[in-house]
């Protein structure tokens, strides 16, 4: 394909994309694909698409841009575990990750934490223990977007010299708003912190991470080393697609919560703080499972379920 053929094909593709997005509301929502462009796709987490975002992808694809500044939240958790593991070995005067002392290392996380935490422990060769959530369903985040008391946890971890990581993949982006910053009380006691939308991490001391992931190959050296952060030392992959031109934030949860509360057939599960609303039909878990099955099979809207303390509910 030459330049003229590319312009013709891209024009045809642009026409197809415009027609697709202009009619997205009328299209069936498919349960077996991540149909995020549809305004009726309410599963997993809030995201979307736009013409500026598509143009940004076209630009970065056209110039062959490979960003060195992005990683997934799951990657962040795994890299932080490796970093904490290596730092503790250095503190103990050990240099090899195969040292028998590693068998005594343990990762503690909530029983309601994302599966990425357990997977990171497995891949990192560290024992994993889950901590039960309390009666207020705290010490969990994935299913209902609740928040830990960072100060209480941080003080304990600091007292016993434990690495403490905060996985705020979904909620962390909201902390730029003053009204949500009270949730970050005690963040200065944490060692690391990851959040979306650009899937990055914050570190109290970035050298701990650089010392873990740095591979000093001559072909990767450049004249700006030591002058600016080199994010290829902050993750496992050396490159990712450049996604930082896209930024999304949705704040309609309170309005939807009010609709649910007005309907006597439904109840809210947990407190609505950010953009996630957990709700259910008043009744048994089986009733709610059937309700979700009917919703998703219709193709007009798509939701996902969750379960906490044996209570089955829907998330939007």
Check: CB of residue 109 under 8 Å from CB of residue 117. Answer: yes
Cα distances (Å, whole numbers) of residue 307 to 142, 252, 285: 11, 23, 9
Query: What is the phi-psi region of residue 64: left when phi exceeds 0, alpha when psi lies from -120 to 50, beta otherwise?
Result: left
**107 contacts 117 by C-beta, under 8 angstroms:** yes
On whether the CB atoms of residues 236 and 257 are closer than 8 A, the answer is no
How far apart CA 279 and CA 275 sit, in angstroms, is 13
Mean pLDDT of the chain: 77
Contact 268, 257 (CB under 8 A): yes
Higher pLDDT, 135 or 283: 283
CA 315 to chain centre: 16
pLDDT of residue 23 exceeding 90: no
pLDDT score of 139 more than 60? no
CA of residue 272 relative to chain centroid, distance: 18
pLDDT, position 15: 92
Q: Give the model's pLDDT for residue 128.
A: 93
Q: Would you say residue 257 has pLDDT above 70?
A: yes
In the chain the domains, ranked by start, together with CATH numbers, are 3-48+248-315 (3.90.1150.10), 73-241 (3.40.640.10)
The pLDDT tens digits of the residues spanning 83-133 come to: 899 889 988 888 777 778 888 999 998 887 888 888 899 988 999 998 887
Residues with Cβ within 8 Å of residue 86, at least 6 apart in sequence: 97, 208, 211, 212
Lowest-pLDDT range of 63-67, 155-159, 210-214, 290-294: 210-214
pLDDT greater than 50 at residue 140: no
Kindly calculate the radius of gyration of the chain based on its CA atoms and give it in whole angstroms: 22
Residue-wise pLDDT tens digits, 172-231: 777 777 888 888 899 999 998 887 754 444 555 666 656 666 656 555 555 666 666 666
pTM of the model: 0.55
Question: What are the tens digits of pLDDT across the range 259-307?
Answer: 999 999 999 988 887 777 889 999 999 999 999 989 888 878 888 888 8
Q: Whole-angstrom Cα distance, residue 21 to residue 37? A: 8
Residue 77 has pLDDT above 60, yes or no: yes
């Amino acid at each position: 394909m030459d330049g003229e053929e590319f312009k013709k094909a891209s024009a045809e593709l642009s026409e197809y994309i415009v027609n697709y997005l202009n009619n997205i509301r009328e299209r069936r929502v498919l349960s077996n694909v991540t149909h995020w462009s549809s305004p009726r796709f309410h599963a997993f987490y809030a995201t979307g698409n736009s013409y500026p975002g598509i143009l940004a992808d076209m630009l970065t694809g056209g110039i062959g841009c490979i960003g060195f500044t992005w990683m997934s939240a799951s990657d962040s958790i795994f890299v932080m575990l490796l970093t904490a593991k290596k730092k503790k070995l250095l503190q103990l005067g050990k240099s090899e990750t195969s040292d028998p002392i590693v068998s005594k290392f343990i990762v503690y996380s909530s029983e309601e934490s994302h599966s990425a935490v357990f997977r990171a422990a497995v891949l990192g060769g560290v024992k994993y223990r889950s901590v039960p959530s309390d009666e207020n369903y705290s010490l969990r985040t994935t299913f209902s977007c609740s928040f830990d008391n960072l100060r209480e946890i941080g003080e304990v971890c600091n007292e016993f010299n434990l690495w403490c990581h905060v996985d705020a993949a979904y909620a962390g982006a909201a902390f730029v708003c003053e009204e949500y910053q009270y949730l970050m009380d005690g963040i200065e006691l944490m060692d690391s912190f990851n959040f979306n939308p650009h899937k990055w991490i914050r570190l109290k001391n970035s050298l701990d991470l650089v010392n873990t992931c740095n591979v000093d190959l001559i072909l990767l050296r450049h004249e700006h080393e030591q002058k600016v952060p080199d994010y290829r030392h902050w993750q496992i992959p050396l490159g990712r697609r450049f996604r930082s031109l896209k930024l999304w934030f949705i704040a309609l949860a309170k309005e939807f919560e009010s609709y649910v509360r007005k309907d006597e057939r439904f109840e809210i599960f947990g407190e609505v703080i950010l953009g996630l609303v957990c709700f259910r039909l008043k009744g048994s878990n089986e009733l709610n499972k059937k309700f979700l099955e009917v919703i998703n099979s219709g193709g007009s809207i798509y939701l996902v379920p969750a379960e906490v303390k044996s209570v089955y509910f829907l998330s939007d």
